[in-house]
């Protein structure tokens, strides 16, 4: 059985006061442990979040990382830095990084390999643009991004990976994929993993859906046989909304 993982992606949001108020709110609440939950925050808050959330089951993730361990890379953060803070996850290849910061399948692959050398778990994002969907290239794009992201990754390491299927057109638009479409693509991705590795690995890897997930629609995705959680942007910013989503399985 794959343990679902609900991860909030705060993107470039919140001041320190807002982070503290979110954490204080959430610490008063019962957090279910039948799922994994995580907050992926701007790197300046990771240390604080690790400290404040240590008595809760909520894990902490970064939103990006460099593939080199250290060096003359002004403005970048390396895997050993995140590991030394006890950070649990790191998002790699988010479509905003691919679109605005020159992230490519090659850099995604380097980052995935660097992260898998550490104790951190990568959340690797793949997904098609609206143009690509309209040209019926959804499966082709997801397949290509998956193959390139995990080039050279061994089966044993692959078991630790989380994949987030995030159609670009659904991110931050309020226009989520239907649960049927999301299931179809996640099932396809699992098939690609079975082909690249074997069915045991394919059945072990967790695949999230992301793109305009809310407390209102999350249960629909979680009910799908190949969807193992969600990567949530906007709806993860408010503590009540985040809590409703991490409790969605309990309620369902
Ligand atoms: P959204 O973002 O939930 O605001 O659509 C999802 C994401 O970018 O991971």
Q: For ligand 1, say whether the CB of 9 is within 6 Å of any of its atoms.
A: yes
pLDDT tens-digit profile of 42-99? 999 999 999 999 999 999 999 999 999 999 999 999 999 999 999 999 999 999 999 9
Best CA proximity match to 131, nearest among 122, 121, 140: 140
CB 78 within 8 A of CB 46: no
Q: Could you give the angle at the alpha carbon of 182 between the alpha carbons of 233 and 103, nearest 5°?
A: 55
In this structure, which residue's CA is closest to atom 1 in ligand 1? Answer: 233
Told to judge if 94 belongs to the known catalytic residues of this protein, a careful annotator would answer: yes
The DSSP symbol for 42 reads -
What's the CA gap between 81 and 104, in Å, rounded?
23
What is the DSSP annotation of 48-72?
HHHHHTTTSSEEEEES--BSSSSSS
- What is the distance in A from the centroid of ligand 1 to the CA of 55? 27
Q: For ligand 1, say whether the CB of 212 is within 6 Å of any of its atoms.
A: yes
Site to probe by mutation for ligand 1, drawn from 13, 103, 213, 237 as the one with most ligand atoms within 8 Å of Cβ, is 213
- Its pTM stands at 0.98
Beta strands in the chain (DSSP E): 5-9, 36-40, 58-62, 89-92, 121-126, 162-165, 206-210, 229-232
Residues 6+ positions from 48 with CB-CB distance below 8 Å: 16, 19, 20
Q: For ligand 1, say whether the CB of 93 is within 6 Å of any of its atoms.
A: no
Mean pLDDT over all residues of the chain? 97
Q: Is 78 helix (H, G, I), strand (E, B) or coil?
A: strand
- As a whole-number percent, the residues of the chain with pLDDT over 70 amount to 99
pLDDT tens-digit profile of 105-155? 999 999 999 999 999 999 999 999 999 999 999 999 999 999 999 999 999
What pLDDT was estimated at residue 251? 59
Q: Which token pair is 157?
A: 């390491």
pLDDT tens-digit profile of 37-47? 999 999 999 99
pLDDT tens-digit profile of 198-229? 999 999 999 999 999 999 999 999 999 999 99
């Amino acid at each position: 059985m794959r343990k679902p993982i609900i991860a909030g992606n705060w993107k470039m949001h919140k001041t320190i006061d807002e982070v503290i108020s979110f954490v204080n709110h959430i610490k008063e609440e019962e957090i279910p442990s039948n799922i994994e939950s995580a907050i992926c925050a701007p790197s300046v808050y990771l240390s604080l979040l690790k400290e404040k959330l240590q008595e809760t089951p909520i894990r902490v993730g970064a939103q990006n990382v460099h593939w080199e361990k250290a060096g003359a890379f002004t403005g970048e953060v390396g895997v050993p830095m995140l590991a030394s803070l006890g950070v649990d996850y790191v998002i790699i290849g988010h479509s905003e990084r691919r679109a605005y910061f020159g992230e490519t399948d090659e850099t995604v692959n380097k980052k995935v390999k660097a992260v898998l050398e550490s104790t951190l778990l990568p959340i690797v994002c793949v997904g098609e643009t609206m143009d690509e969907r309209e040209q019926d290239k959804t499966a082709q794009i997801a397949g290509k991004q998956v193959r390139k992201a995990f080039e050279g990754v061994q089966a044993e390491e692959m078991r630790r990976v989380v994949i987030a299927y995030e159609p670009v057109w659904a991110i931050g638009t309020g226009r989520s994929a239907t649960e049927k479409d999301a299931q179809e693509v996640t099932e396809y991705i699992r098939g690609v993993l079975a082909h690249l590795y074997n069915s045991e690995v394919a059945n072990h890897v967790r695949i999230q859906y992301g793109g305009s997930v809310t407390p209102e629609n999350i249960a629909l995705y979680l009910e799908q046989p190949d969807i193992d959680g969600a990567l949530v942007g906007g709806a993860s910013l408010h503590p009540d909304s985040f809590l409703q989503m991490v409790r969605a399985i309990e309620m369902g």
